[in-house]
Structure 1
Amino acid sequence: MLTAARLGAAALIAVLPAGAAAAPALADTPSPAAAAVPAGLYGSGDPTYDGVWRQSLTLTALANAKVVPADAAVGWLTGQQCADGGWPSYRADASVACDAKTEDSNATSVAVQALVALGGHQDTVDKGVQWLKTVQNTDGSWAYNPGSPGDADSTGLAVAALTAAKADPVGTAKAGRNGFDGLAGFQLGCAAPADQRGAFAYQPDQSGALAANALATSQAAPAAAGGHLPVVNTNRVDAAPKALTCADGSAQPVSRADSAEAAAAYLTAQLAATDQHLMLTMPGAAATPDFTATSWAALGLIQAGHPQQAAGAVDWLAAQGATWTKGGTDVSATATLLLVAQAAQRDPAAFGGADLVQQLTAAGPAPKAAVAAPPAAAPKKKDDGSGASPVWMLGVGLVVGVGGGLLLSLQRKRAARQSAGKPRA
């Protein structure tokens, strides 16, 4: 069953014309009929459509910031897992058995990555990985809801989850088609117009044709580059990403070896064309900045070894991100922004003037512990020319200290004598 909103992919994209850009992620704001927010869950908004998604991104980002979350926060996420290993977007009563139709690959994929980042949850991770393997399509792809045709976003997230869990996507296959084969089925190759080559489509249209989609490309790119959340890749390629090379008249698909570079080249060109951010285009509406796609594009470029090409998007997110995060009240957006800042090696305590770690921790149960910053070294005092040497000052300090100690001892003795009725010394 398709949920009413899709976090991490395209809200309502299944009903949009092929090639239409995805809608932004559901904001973490209460709705008139909002479900009650359970203890342990980050954020105050209705969790019906994004509870597991936002919790997973938050725990991943905080773990990467060396924050030890509250047991209640981790327990809420693990408690959402169904008996067969999958996760739904949200279930209000975890004591009631899951309806398999509500389980989705996106929630499961980010939950697996979060628990890997936290460590110590191998059995839960293994069950999630096994569920992903059982719901893989025969073309190697994953659908948001099992039993539906696959899409690039869901396939990218599933491949990233397998990578994080050290379950090789190449060895995860159905009918001889593995996870990377599934991704390849959505990537535009030499048969596409030159300005779309390397992009990923969300899904083929009814005729089987592919059309470039910015969000699909952005969310598939980290997986194509062999990455997962959190992106901590330190590989750096100083040259710009290489666009797909095509001979005249060639209909060559994108090879596995060229996939990440081709996607990075497409994203770099798209960012450069629109002031270092991607745009969201909906039928009948004016185009607006797409924060989700821009964030994932930055993560994909960094994972592919191109932090220079991601820098402009990271700068734009730092300058404009407060609009998206609503001052940290939208925890899904805040967590995504924190993951970007971490991947780009920016200071998350001063990213666009906001302390993203503090904003996230304030949006949920108090963490168990955080790594404290090392104490600042005391500044060294310079000789002011007065002639008082450090050694001489140390001697004076010792004399004063001894004298003060003697004085304190005498005072204590006098007080004791007075309380015992003895004469003063």
Structure 2
Amino acid sequence: MNVRRSAAVLAAAVVIGGTATPAVAASPSPKPSLPSGLYGSGDPTYDGVWRQSYALIALHRVHENPPAAAVEWLAGQQCANGAFPAFRANPAKACDAKLMVDTNSTAAAAQALSAVGGHDSAVTEAVAWLKSVQNKDGGWGYAPGGASDANSTSVVIGALHTQDLSVPEVRVGTKSPYDALLKLSLPCADGGAFAYQPDKKGELRANADATAAAVVAASGRDLLTAKPDIRGELTCADAPDLTRTRAATNGAAYLAAAVAKDGYLKSALPGAENQPDYGNTADAVVALAVQGGTGAARKPLEWLKRNSAKWAEQNGPAAWAQLILAAEATGTDPRDFGGTDLVERLTATGPTPVSASQDDSGTSVWWMVGAGLAAGAGIGFLLSARNKRKQP
């Protein structure tokens, strides 16, 4: 999902007539003080949980242990009902009706806490809350009760995977999350893309950000498990009984065509149509790799290597994380991404990382080994790896 989409516009959405609509901007409030465990130096009001989750997920993908303070901060954002808001300035204060919780923050946090391990109950409660606010069409909107959209439904599907749930069986009546995504799939005459959600006239319009998210979800992958896979030629084909696999292929074909000329997706923001959209391009790389393999993602990946560092520097931890996920999904070394060490740059935006040469007590592991050898006694180390999530 695009970094911008997870910030002020969507996080400030309110539900009006069943549709998530950006709220009218209020007078600026005092900038909250930044918690020591938080990644990034920008105001976390609208994206604190989102960017923290992305940072932890990206670090997990590259086998880096995040600082305990970072994990504790994220876990402390959860409300008693299992949901997460975009940001809780005072976690010691119980969540109330005035605090807006949302599906995107909750689903991303569930995936992040599942990745780092040790928070099984928190993840279970988050997923239970998500299931409790599932819409009748099988999908989810950004805010509970809001109209289903492709991005929210896709990130929630990723959270369902943390519980090894069969997505088609997570239903409201006869409708599953995949049913909601298929309703947002466009025919090949319109490119085969996914729409974010129907517009005010009920029409579907191609949306690259929504398409990238939906392709990954419909392919059975998520933020934690996206990896290169060739599932057939990326061509669009209409079918009377559209399956999620066919819809994912159609969506990937749309993305491949969109990046074929310049290597990047263009911004959909008014007045910025000719500007590159770095975040959506990174997401498109993941989607193309998941559905069409590294070859399908090569051109936009190479473009990102050449051009994305300045953008990520300006946009912070979620941007660095998006690039790491793009690298990981294509089998690219994130520590040498066009000459940039993405892991180092992400790590620098957060609390001091755990040193690889220190154990949990702060005692140098190598000192222990040396002492043991000097004493002529062997020291055995039992290393238990973090529980791996089951691949979908």
What SS does the corresponding residue of 2:87 show, helix, strand or coil? Answer: coil
Residues 230 and 343, structure 1, Cα contact 8 Å, conserved in 2: no
Give the TM-score, by structure 1 length.
0.75
Residue 115 of structure 1 corresponds to: 113
| Separation of aligned partners in 1, 2:156 and 2:275 | 28
Partner Cα separation in structure 1 for residue 294 and residue 162 of structure 2:
21
1:254 maps to 2:252: no
What secondary structure sits across from 1:313 in the alignment?
A: helix
Q: Kindly provide the CA deviation profile for residues 305-355 of structure 1, in whole angstroms up to 9, marking residues without a partner as x.
A: 43211111111111111121127x611101111111111111111112211
Distance in 2 between the 1:154 and 1:342 partners?
A: 22
For the 8 Å contact 1:67–1:369, the answer to whether it is kept is: no
Q: TM-score, normalised by structure 2?
A: 0.81
Q: Which residue of 1 aligns with 2:184?
A: 186
Q: How many residue pairs get matched?
A: 342
Match of 2:306 among 304, 314, 319: 319
Alignment gaps of 5+ in structure 1: 16-22, 24-30, 247-251, 373-425
- Structure 1 residue 223 corresponds to structure 2 residue 210: no
Q: Displacement, 1:34?
A: 2.7
Query: Residues 241 and 306 of structure 1 are in contact (CA less than 8 Å); yes or no, is this contact kept in structure 2?
Result: no
Counterpart-to-counterpart distance in 1, 2:181 and 2:217: 9
Q: Deviations over 1:71-110 (max 9, x none)?
A: 1100000000111111100010011122355111111111
1:366 pairs, out of 323, 329, 352, with 352
Q: Deviations over 1:155-198 (max 9, x none)?
A: 111112212431221111112211111111111125xxx2x242
The answer to whether structure 1 residue 61 and structure 2 residue 58 are counterparts is: yes
Relative to 1, partners in 2 of residues 1:60 and 1:163: Cα closer, same or farther, differing over 3 Å?
A: same
Q: Distance in 2 between matches of 1:135 and 1:365?
A: 34
Describe the shift of the 1:234–1:218 C-alpha distance in structure 2 as closer, same or farther (beyond 3 A).
Answer: closer
Q: Which amino acid aligns with 1:65?
A: V
Instruction: Measure, in 2, the Cα distance between the counterparts of 1:310 and 1:355.
Output: 20
Identical-pair percentage: 42
Structure 2: distance between partners of 1:222 and 1:371? 36
Alignment equivalent of 2:338, drawn from 348, 352, 355: 352
CA displacement at 1:277 relative to structure 2: 0.8
Q: Using the alignment, how far apart are the partners of 2:49 and 2:196 within structure 1?
A: 22
Q: Which of 138, 141, 148 is the matching residue for 1:143?
A: 141
Structure 1 position 9, deviation (Å): 10
CA distance in structure 1 between the partners assigned to 2:287 and 2:96 by the alignment: 34
In the aligned structure 2, how far is the partner of 1:335 from the partner of 1:368?
18
Partner of 1:166: 164
Distance 1:11 1:144, change over 3 A: closer
Query: Aligned partner of 1:156: which letter?
Result: S
Residue identity opposite 2:90 in structure 1:
D
**Local SS of the residue matching 1:350:** coil
CA–CA separation in structure 1 for the residues paired with 2:224 and 2:11: 27
CA distance in 2, matches of 1:370, 1:232: 26
Contact 2:58 2:321 in 1 (8 A): yes
Q: Is the 8 A contact 1:67 1:371 kept in 2?
A: no
Kept in 2, the 8 Å contact 1:231–1:339? The answer is no
Paired residue for 1:390? none
Counterpart residue number, 1:28: none
CA contact (8 A) 2:187 2:238 kept: no
Structure 1 equivalent of residue 89 of structure 2 = 92
Match of 2:198, SS state, is coil
* Alignment CA distance shift 1:10-1:258 (3 Å): farther
Q: Secondary structure at the match of 2:326?
A: helix
2:60 is the alignment partner of 1:74: no
- Distance 1:369-1:304 versus aligned 2 partners, 3 A rule: farther
Which is higher, the Rg of structure 1 or of structure 2?
1
**Partner amino acid, structure 2, of 1:142:** W
Q: Which residue of 2 aligns with 1:301?
A: 288
Assess if the C-alpha contact under 8 Å between 1:141 and 1:151 holds in 2: yes
**In structure 2, how many angstroms separate the alpha carbons of the residues matched to 1:141 and 1:8?**
21
Distance change >3 Å, CA 186–CA 286, structure 1 → 2:
closer
2:215 touches 2:249 (CA, 8 Å); kept in 1?
no
